[in-house]
Structures are given as structure tokens and as C-alpha cells.
């Protein structure tokens, strides 16, 4: 088989790239190591920046999102006895959209199937060959049978544990990482959200986040020890701890119920440089990870897709290679800004081991400054709704 672009990874970033390229008549093959149902079963974030929403529109897959999503014009910050709102629309003229990543992925799979674009599931032993040559190709196995696909370019959208980043020699790539000394225990429950907007809560017991997927599906998180296991926490214990960390009025109106999903996610900041090696391009979690505090994981992947999509269209329509030559540079410039914001939000709201009394006083003062300064709130809002591409 031969296609123009092989996309490794059938998550939202790979699917979005495939759909955008299809709109321009560029032939792609998506290779996914799991089943479609497995990918759709993964519970992920649901806060989408303006740029992501616009890419979905450009890809022609935004109708259900526009019909069923929730527009959030702001968020709530609380810290001990302080509570205040950040009005994104008043500060930036923009908002974010709440629409579950699972639903984004479903829409993209349905669109890909509708146009007959090629997707292969249950792939094993995927290998990238000749990425630093003019004739790259990818081999993979399905049910023990090996296949080869020749291509012009390879997009590595296969996540942190995928093979794409590992295909770049250690002599070429450099990795930067910060591991945080805590995790997030999250649950999903079929209950109405406690608030119309997300609540980011810092307290002496640790961080908590009140989020949502739709009008009767809520997502809640609490900071926990890395030594904890999800099964250590009963639903009752989780709800009790959440109530202790969020504002009192929110705790009073919180509707609790049985969890339908419960898991612990460790937090890390990670960047791989460069994001391009020859004709291989890294996108999303294959190249960078952020702590989820700033809702930037999927959104930063979308900015990668924006740069790569336009670079590939430029090559195929004009023969100009400036876009692909500068892909890594452009993508990383924005990646490091989102890394800074996610690190800052995490540092601002979490309790860290060995924080001194001085550290805690400074943390509280920074929250108070954010509460009282429109300029500081504007900086947060600009980053939260999404920096320009």
C-alpha cells in the first residue's frame, strides 16, 4: 500500500489531522493499536480552546459539538477563605467549550468512516523505517500478518508510550521532565454538576477540581498521594474529602452518587525536542505532557495539528517546504508557553510536600493578587481560552 501520510495513533489528534488532510484531498492511513471501542472508552478531558473548536469546524465535524456542548465564559477559583470568578469573556472576548474528548473522538471516527478513509485497528509491532530519508515507510502486523505502507510523511500521534518518539535516535532528541509528588484521584458520576462553571479549589487538605461532561455527568478530582490506589477510596470517602476542599456553599449543594469510573493519574510535565526528525513529525502526547490543571493536554495537541496540517498542505499544494522545516520550532514555541501555564496553575493550587510556612504565605499572597488584579486575571484568561497559533 502507498499513501501520502501515515498517521500512527487513532486518538483525537491523529483523527483530527486525518480529517483535515482529507478535506484537502490528501490521502492518509491511520494505524491504531487498540480497538475503536477501547479508544472510545478512555475517559479524558473535555475543556476545548477556541482554536480546537475552529479546527473541528474546518474539518467539517463540529455540528454535534455545537449542538450539545456547553459554553463556559469563566471559571471559579477558591483558596481557603477566598473565592472569586475569572470572567474569560469580559477579559479576552473569548470562552471555552465543554465537550468530552470521548465525544470528539466519536465524531471524528464517524466522519472518517463516512468518507471511507482508511483506519487499521489492533496493529502490533509498528515500526517506522527511513524517516530520515526521502522514502519512509511503516511496517505493522495485524493477526500475525505483516504489512508495509510506503508514504511521504509520518505523523506520530501515538501518545507518551508510543513508538514514534522512540524512533528518533537518542543522539538527536533531548527530553525535559518534571514529575510532581502527587496524583489526581478522579471519579465520573451520573450526577448534575455542582456548578455552572469549573471550580478550581486549593485548601490546606490539597487541591480539588469540580468539572463536568454534560448536564448529568460530572467529573471530580482531588489531589492524592502517589502511594494511593483507586480501590483504597470508597465513593463515600471521596465525596467526604471533596466537600472538605471546595467552597462551603458548593459542598452543601453537591449531589453525590455512585462512581462509574475511578482512577488515579500521576502528574508530570514533559517535552521532547525536536518534534521533527526527517519526515517524522511528533504531535500531542508523543512529544509533550502537561499536568491537567490548566486543561491544556488535548488543546496543545490541537495546536501541533494546526501547524502540521498547514505545513503538509503547503507542501502538496505549492511544493514549498518552509512549513515543515519550521514545524518543530513553531510547535515548541507554543508548547513551552502552555507548559509554563500548566506548571504555574499546578504550583498555585496544590499542596507540596515540605512546603515551608513562608512558601504557604507566598502561595496565598499570589492567590490574593490574582483575586485583586484585573491584569493578572487577564493573563490567566488569555492562557486558559488558548494562546493564538
Selection from 63, 93, 54, 40 nearest residue 389 by Cα: 54
As to burial, measured by CB atoms within 10 angstroms (0-12 exposed, 13-18 middle, 19+ buried), residue 313 is middle
C-alpha cell read off for 187? 471519579
140 is catalytic: no
Catalytic annotation, pick one of 22, 72, 95, 330 = 72
296 is catalytic: yes
389 is catalytic: no
Catalytic annotation, pick one of 262, 288, 296, 306 = 296
Selection from 129, 123, 125, 124 nearest residue 277 by Cα: 129
- Measured between alpha carbons, how far is 222 from 116 in angstroms, rounded to an integer? 42
12 is catalytic: no
Whether residue 213 contacts residue 219, with contact meaning beta carbons closer than 8 Å, is answered with yes
As to burial, measured by CB atoms within 10 angstroms (0-12 exposed, 13-18 middle, 19+ buried), residue 93 is exposed
C-alpha cell read off for 238? 471521596
Contacts of 365 (CB under 8 A, 6+ apart): none
Catalytic annotation, pick one of 95, 180, 292, 330 = 292
316 is catalytic: no
- Measured between alpha carbons, how far is 345 from 353 in angstroms, rounded to an integer? 17
Whether residue 28 contacts residue 309, with contact meaning beta carbons closer than 8 Å, is answered with no
Rounded to 5°, the CA angle 355-244-289 comes to 55
Catalytic annotation, pick one of 109, 140, 153, 200 = 200
Contacts of 297 (CB under 8 A, 6+ apart): 44, 45, 284, 285, 289, 290
Q: Which residues are catalytic?
A: 72, 200, 292, 296, 384
Amino acid at each position: 500500500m502507498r499513501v501520502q501520510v501515515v498517521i500512527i495513533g487513532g486518538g483525537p489528534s491523529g483523527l483530527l489531522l486525518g480529517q483535515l488532510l482529507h478535506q484537502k484531498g490528501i490521502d492518509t492511513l491511520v494505524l491504531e493499536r487498540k480497538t475503536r471501542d477501547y479508544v472510545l472508552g478512555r475517559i479524558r478531558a473535555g475543556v476545548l480552546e477556541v482554536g480546537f473548536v475552529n479546527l473541528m469546524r474546518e474539518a467539517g465535524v463540529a455540528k454535534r459539538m455545537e449542538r450539545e456542548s456547553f459554553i463556559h465564559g469563566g471559571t471559579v477559583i477558591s483558596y481557603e477563605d477566598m473565592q472569586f470568578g475569572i470572567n474569560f469573556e469580559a477579559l479576552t472576548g473569548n470562552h471555552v467549550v465543554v465537550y468530552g474528548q470521548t465525544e470528539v473522538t466519536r465524531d471524528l471516527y464517524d466522519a472518517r468512516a463516512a468518507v471511507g478513509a482508511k483506519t487499521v485497528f489492533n496493529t502490533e509491532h509498528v515500526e517506522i523505517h527511513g524517516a530520515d530519508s526521502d522514502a519512509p515507510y511503516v511496517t505493522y502486523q495485524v493477526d500475525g500478518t505483516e504489512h508495509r505502507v510506503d508514504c511521504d510523511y509520518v505523523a506520530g500521534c501515538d501518545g507518551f508510550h508510543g513508538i514514534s518518539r522512540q524512533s528518533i535516535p537518542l543522539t538527536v532528541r533531548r527530553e525535559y521532565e518534571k514529575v510532581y509528588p502527587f496524583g489526581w484521584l478522579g471519579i465520573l458520576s451520573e450526577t448534575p454538576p455542582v456548578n455552572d462553571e469549573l471550580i478550581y479549589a486549593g485548601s490546606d487538605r490539597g487541591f480539588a477540581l469540580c468539572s463536568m461532561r454534560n448536564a448529568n455527568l460530572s467529573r471530580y478530582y482531588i489531589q492524592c498521594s502517589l502511594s494511593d490506589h483507586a480501590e483504597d477510596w470508597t465513593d463515600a470517602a471521596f465525596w467526604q474529602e471533596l466537600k472538605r476542599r471546595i467552597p462551603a456553599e458548593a459542598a452543601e449543594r453537591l449531589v453525590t452518587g455512585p462512581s462509574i469510573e475511578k482512577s488515579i493519574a500521576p502528574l508530570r510535565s514533559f517535552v521532547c525536542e525536536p518534534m521533527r526528525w526527517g519526515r517524522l513529525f511528533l504531535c500531542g502526547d508523543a512529544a509533550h505532557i502537561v499536568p491537567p490543571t490548566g486543561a491544556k493536554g488535548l488543546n496543545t495537541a490541537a495546536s501541533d495539528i494546526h501547524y502540521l496540517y498547514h505545513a503538509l498542505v503547503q507542501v502538496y499544494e505549492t511544493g514549498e517546504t518552509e512549513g515543515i522545516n519550521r514545524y518543530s520550532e513553531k510547535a515548541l514555541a507554543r508548547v513551552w508557553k502552555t507548559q509554563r501555564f500548566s506548571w504555574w496553575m499546578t504550583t498555585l493550587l496544590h499542596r507540596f510536600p515540605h512546603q515551608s510556612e513562608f512558601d504557604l504565605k507566598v502561595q496565598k499572597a499570589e492567590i490574593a493578587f490574582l483575586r485583586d488584579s484585573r491584569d493578572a486575571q487577564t493573563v490567566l484568561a488569555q492562557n486558559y481560552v488558548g494562546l493564538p497559533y
